[in-house]
Amino acid sequence: MASSNNKTKKPTSSFQFNLCTTLFFIVLFTIPALFLLHTPTTTSICTTLASHVKPFSGDLRLAEFAWNHLSFIQDQPPPIVLKIAVFSRKWPIGTTPGGMERHAHTLHTALARRGHQVHVFTSPPPGDTSINLQASPPSSPQLHCHEGEPGRWRYNKAWEQFVKENQQQPFDVVHSESVALPHFVARNLPNLAVSWHGIALESLQSDIFQDLTRRADEPMSPAFNSSIQGVLPKVLNEIRFFKNYAHHVAISNSCGEILRDFYQIPNKRVHVIVNGVDEEDFGKDVKLGNEFRSKIGIPSNASLVLGVAGRLVKDKGHPLLHEAYSRFITKHPNVYLIVAGSGPWENRYRDLGDQVLVLGSMSPSMLKAFYNAIDIFVNPTLRPQGLDLTLMEAMMSGKPILASRFPSIKGTIVVDDEFGFMFAPNVESFLEALEAVVEEGPERLAKRGKACREYASSMFTARKMALAYERLFLCIKDETFCTYP
């Protein structure tokens, strides 16, 4: 009987093995195929518009390129004042914000300054900030922090506040930062726009690239297996429910293509608007950079200074940077790395010696000095989703980029070879790129940085981002605003 039981279990086991194998190879071959399919199109679009070969006119909802390329009238007030509802899990009050919170704050502060009535529904901030909230100037967004634990997002509480405010005077447009407003609530809003800072398919890609950084003698993490098993159903669920959102805002050209081609969202409901940074916070200042170098102890005979900024965690590519730089400095004793940020990899960088300066988290004013002190900005991210604001901040500061070759970065940020260097997300490719950077030297990198500054000033400013969102929101309110120019 025992023998019989064993025999009956084999087909099930074999089926499970074959199913897992099939899923693995689907993922293995689908992701590179997507990369190959998406990269050329995004690059050609950006290049064409950047050179103004084909000016756009017509229905803005049909535009498949970033609206940042378009020209909007900046010095005139908006044609109508909009009442805008914003759902954001967090709002940067008295804390070091993440990229999504910084984006939301920059965008909606700029829209409020344009005269729009902006209401932000968010979680309670840490500490007692009631005095700060009351002291906010009239041109700032009006914050509605729901009751509850500080920093913990309760969409149902925020929704109750929204409904109450909406009854007094209906909102013209509702803006959700990613899934701050769940789809089963948001699907009923015809005037909704959702900005995606990352989607499940791109998260799957990120998991794969992170696992590929494992050493040959390092076993596969059980967490990786669990993550892969969990994210595949999530991708399918997203494809099914994304169609219920009225409008989607992708923050990179590649994400826009995935939403149209893979998630099957109609063209008229997908809009690419790249994030922007406050041009007053980031700019070229040679004197400030030299002072910062001296202050933190960079020797005057340093041949090159690299810089990286952000959270020091695995998915930001720090295993990759740490391993590559630990090999690199054995051949280049006068090349220095400044690390701006905090996280689990902080002490590991300190262990590399005097050529690495770990400075911890920085305020925007300190970041401006940091960017001006380096020769090139490094972004070794293993996350194909979204776009780190640090890339735009560095370019606005007149610095070239050394970054992972992902469609989001290649098709939206480093759209011209002059803007920097790209590498496959592995140590060998990274080292080759580092050698190329050293061979060029600071003078050539400075020329690249000038080109970066010019491009970023036309594409990645907070003002340009706000004007693009404003036009989209006007279009949602009234279709007559959908016609460009």
| 184 in the same domain as 107 | yes
31 assigned to some structural domain? no
For residue 92 the two structure tokens come to 């940067």
**Residue 264 is part of which domain span?**
49-276+463-484
- Is 483 strand, coil or helix? strand
Cα–Cα distance measured from residue 379 to residue 367, given in angstroms and rounded to the nearest whole number: 15
| 472 in the same domain as 449 | no
Confidence (pLDDT) at 276:
95
Instruction: Name the region of 313 (left: φ>0; alpha: ψ -120 to 50; beta: rest).
Output: beta
302 assigned to some structural domain? yes
CA 481, 182, 209, 337 dihedral sign is positive
Strand blocks (E) in 361-419: 376-379, 401-404
Confidence (pLDDT) at 338:
98
| 120 in the same domain as 64 | yes
Confidence (pLDDT) at 334:
97
* Contact between 338 and 357 (Cβ < 8 Å): yes
| 422 in the same domain as 356 | yes
| CATH code for the domain of 360 | 3.40.50.2000
Residues belonging to the chain? 485
179 assigned to some structural domain? yes
* Contact between 94 and 125 (Cβ < 8 Å): yes
| 166 in the same domain as 96 | yes
* Contact between 420 and 398 (Cβ < 8 Å): no
Q: What is the helix, strand, coil percentage profile of the chain, to 5? A: 50, 15, 35
For residue 289 the two structure tokens come to 């950079």
Question: What is the b/e burial string over 399-425, where b = at least 16 CB atoms within 10 angstroms of the residue's CB?
Answer: bbbbbbbbbbbbbbbbbbeebbbbbeb
Report which secondary-structure segment, H or E, holds 140: none
Global pTM? 0.86
Other residues' Cβ atoms within 10 Å of the Cβ of residue 24: 11
| 241 in the same domain as 200 | yes
- Is 374 strand, coil or helix? coil
Rounded to 10°, the helix 2-50/253-261 angle is 130
Between the alpha carbon of residue 189 and those of residues 146, 154, 167, 251, 473, the distances in Å are: 21, 19, 14, 21, 14
Count of domains observed in the chain: 2
| 306 in the same domain as 178 | no
| 196 in the same domain as 129 | yes
415 assigned to some structural domain? yes
Q: Per-residue DSSP letters for 275-342?
A: --B-TTT----HHHHHHHHHHHT--TT-SEEEEEES--SGGGTHHHHHHHHHHHTTT-TTEEEEEEB-
Nearest CA to 254 out of 473, 464, 45, 28 is that of 45
392 assigned to some structural domain? yes
332 assigned to some structural domain? yes
Confidence (pLDDT) at 94:
55
Question: For each of the chain's 485 residues, which pLDDT tens digit applies?
Answer: 444 444 444 444 444 444 444 444 444 434 444 443 343 333 333 333 444 336 899 999 999 999 999 999 888 999 999 999 999 999 986 555 677 888 999 999 999 999 999 999 999 988 654 445 544 676 899 999 999 999 899 999 999 999 999 999 999 999 999 999 998 999 989 999 999 998 998 888 888 888 888 888 888 878 777 888 888 899 999 999 999 999 999 999 999 999 999 999 999 999 999 999 998 899 999 999 999 999 999 999 999 999 999 999 999 999 999 999 999 999 999 999 999 999 999 999 999 999 999 999 998 789 999 999 999 999 999 988 778 999 999 999 999 999 999 999 999 999 999 999 999 999 999 999 999 999 999 999 999 999 999 999 999 999 999 999 999 999 999 999 999 99
For residue 32 the two structure tokens come to 């590179």
| 433 in the same domain as 300 | yes
5 assigned to some structural domain? no
Q: Kindly tell me the burial class for residue 449, based on how many C-beta atoms sit within 10 Å of its own C-beta (0-12, 13-18, 19 or more).
A: buried
Amino acid at the residue 178: S
- Is 423 strand, coil or helix? strand
For residue 246 the two structure tokens come to 């009225």
Cα–Cα distance measured from residue 418 to residue 395, given in angstroms and rounded to the nearest whole number: 12
Cα end-to-end span (Å), the chain: 79
Confidence (pLDDT) at 42:
32
Nearest CA to 278 out of 460, 137, 71 is that of 460
| 241 in the same domain as 189 | yes
40 assigned to some structural domain? no
| 370 in the same domain as 480 | no
* Contact between 372 and 310 (Cβ < 8 Å): no
| 255 in the same domain as 351 | no
